[in-house]
Structure 1
């Protein structure tokens, strides 16, 4: 495990672990007889998370994070550790002694390109990067689950703990699935969680059907011809096309209620010409995020948005090119997988209720194609800063109940 972070002594972490155990019991109806992580475990796991938090790596750069994960997984002696999955992905495999289904639990390796603020003793040491979505906590929950599996392997089937790269860009799940090594551990069931500010601590929200929207970044490039600013008529400026396109694109997706037909188009960035007073522009870019409730709705929105870009370029004699980035498919919670999680919540006295569909996107949805999958929201506190805020920090109090929920799923499915 990582050394204790500066400002956090072993004694203070041991005391905090005991306090967290008490808080968890109080928060979750006081009915937790099956806690399988000891105070010693909690000290180690908090050290691990704090080390991850202090050393964030963004999508596609998670090499050192993957090494940290492999080091702690090796201590739990899985039957196999797969590395280099879809980039820097890691999977720990725990086999049962009898045939049975493959059950996968997924977390994310990557952090965000956001400067962290605040005075945590384990705050980010990497300028401009921070674990401000809670992926450090998600990794720690699966690491705790690995400790439980080291002591009590599944009776049958197989458990796969997947530490996925590049979730924040939408590239990671697709890369993992395309990797030939993944075919050897492909699951029958896939489960995940995401911490959720605004919900009571350690409470769960889950519903069948669409859980997260599909989205993609659309970049429209308009090309004309520059000229001296004193004779703009001698060039071909994309200024009018940009002025027309921004409101017409957003009109395609006005937002509203998250119901069938939901669309939202957000202009995220625009650039016209060069930052110089002597040049009439000849180049422009518009970046827009397209968002729909389901993948089926995305294809129609893409077609209409591209048509608007071509029409605007044609009216003004410009060349146009369109490309796409950060492509996320929508997440769909399978009813059977939802029932499995709900049974685990009930068995572990986890308060739970129905979840609203989230506008934000998550590439976990790709694992649900042909697989029974579900992701639940796990409350990180009603007063917690929002995800991607520069002062967000994952609550250590979620580590034990998160791991325990997943362990209950394993016991119920695999014995």
Structure 2
């Protein structure tokens, strides 16, 4: 164990501090400052700030040439009101760390204690604290930032806590790890009229009634294989909140989900064609835009092998896992480096992620950081 008892006490207290002060995607300014402050005692060789927004990267240089290994965590919280009696519950109305990113940050920050005391023998260890994961914008912004060229990792690793798995159990497999997803916003425009003379207008109501079941039929879900597609209607509005007006405008929001990016292209084409067909048949103009775009995550076989070696060395219980329906923007780093993410069990009775009563288990901080530190030592010495 590379952490002292005092380290663990400090880390738990810091995690609670982060939990009390959540900031949502794109607004993580104070969270980033807290990260920089916490890392200062380990005296990184380089600290990069403002990376892709509010991102922070701390670099620990080895004495000899070698690979660059990046470990990534997320800065952002969710726009959800926390329901908790905990002393460290969110102090920000309508916002909460209900996905465990406060815990992920703490696990990665824990590595700074070990790296500060004992630099890698070779290569570089990079601790990345990424903004805006929840919207799918953060990884793309980090990669597009010219400062990312200073990091240029050969390997990238991350974790996500997983309610439903036994506390501390690790699930990890090669291949697709998280589905691709994106939000489709459909705007249908017709013509309003008096509610007494609806025939004088063009209402989107018939199109909405057809499209909602038709869109979901394009993606019925099922087994997570190459044919997997899921369309979920998440929001719909029609007309004004008035009894005297027949509507002339409507919106439908749908989340499209597939196992891979290649399948996503096909699903988007089918959804767009369906919307245009129904709009034309009902005399409407349709406009479509995409939001919260997540590319699929794929675990590289060599990167998985390195994590499994670390898990075995540290005597963790671990096993394979199926791809996750939920999306993760970590997959984009796999285009620049050999990457892998593992799932760390948060307990079989834990509330689900994004639930208003979820709280990251402090008991995962030490074991989670131990896996990454063992991987770093195995690879960099």
TM-score, with normalisation over the residues of structure 2?
A: 0.99
Instruction: Tell me which residue corresponds to 2:330.
Output: 364
Q: RMSD over aligned Cα, in angstroms? A: 0.6
Q: CA deviation at 1:103?
A: 0.3
Deviation at 1:79, TM superposition (A): 0.3
Report whether the alignment pairs 1:238 with 2:209.
Answer: no
- The reply on whether 1:113 has 2:79 as its aligned counterpart is yes
Residue 290 (structure 1) aligned with residue 256 (structure 2): yes
Deviation at residue 312 of structure 1 after TM alignment: 0.7
Equivalent position of 1:93 in the other structure = 59
Aligned to 2:221: 255
* 1:179 is the counterpart of 2:132: no
Q: Equivalent of 1:133, from 86, 91, 99?
A: 99
Q: Which residue of 1 aligns with 2:117?
A: 151
Q: Deviations over 1:10-50 (max 9, x none)?
A: xxxxxxxxxxxxxxxxxxxxxxxxx1111100111011000
Q: Distance in 1 between matches of 2:51 and 2:336?
A: 20
Partner of residue 353, structure 1: 319
| Residue-by-residue CA offset, 1:131-162 (whole Å, 9 max, x unaligned) | 00000000000110011100111001011100
The correspondence for 1:271, drawn from 237, 253, 270, is 237
- Runs (5+) with no aligned partner, structure 1: 1-34
- The residue aligned with 1:197 is 163
Mapped partners of 2:62, 2:133: distance in 1: 29
CA distance in 2 between counterparts of 1:68 and 1:374 reads 27
Report the Cα offset of residue 273 of structure 1.
Answer: 0.4
Query: Residue in 2 aligned with 1:37?
Result: 3
The corresponding residue for 1:71 is: 37
Tell me the equivalent position of 1:168: 134
Whether the 8 Å contact between 2:191 and 2:247 is mirrored in structure 1 is yes
Q: Distance in 1 between matches of 2:75 and 2:298?
A: 22
Runs of at least 5 residues in structure 2 that lack an aligned partner in the other structure? none
Aligned length: 381
Deviation, structure 1 residue 370? 3.8
For 1:301-343, what per-residue CA distance to the aligned partner results, in whole angstroms no more than 9, with x for missing partners?
0000000010011001111100000000000000000000000
What does residue 18 of structure 2 align with?
Answer: 52
Query: Partners in 2 of 1:174 and 1:50 — Cα distance?
Result: 29
Are 1:330 and 2:296 counterparts? yes
TM-score by length of 1: 0.91
Deviation at 1:271, TM superposition (A): 0.5
Q: Could you tell me which residue of structure 2 aligns to residue 222 of structure 1?
A: 188
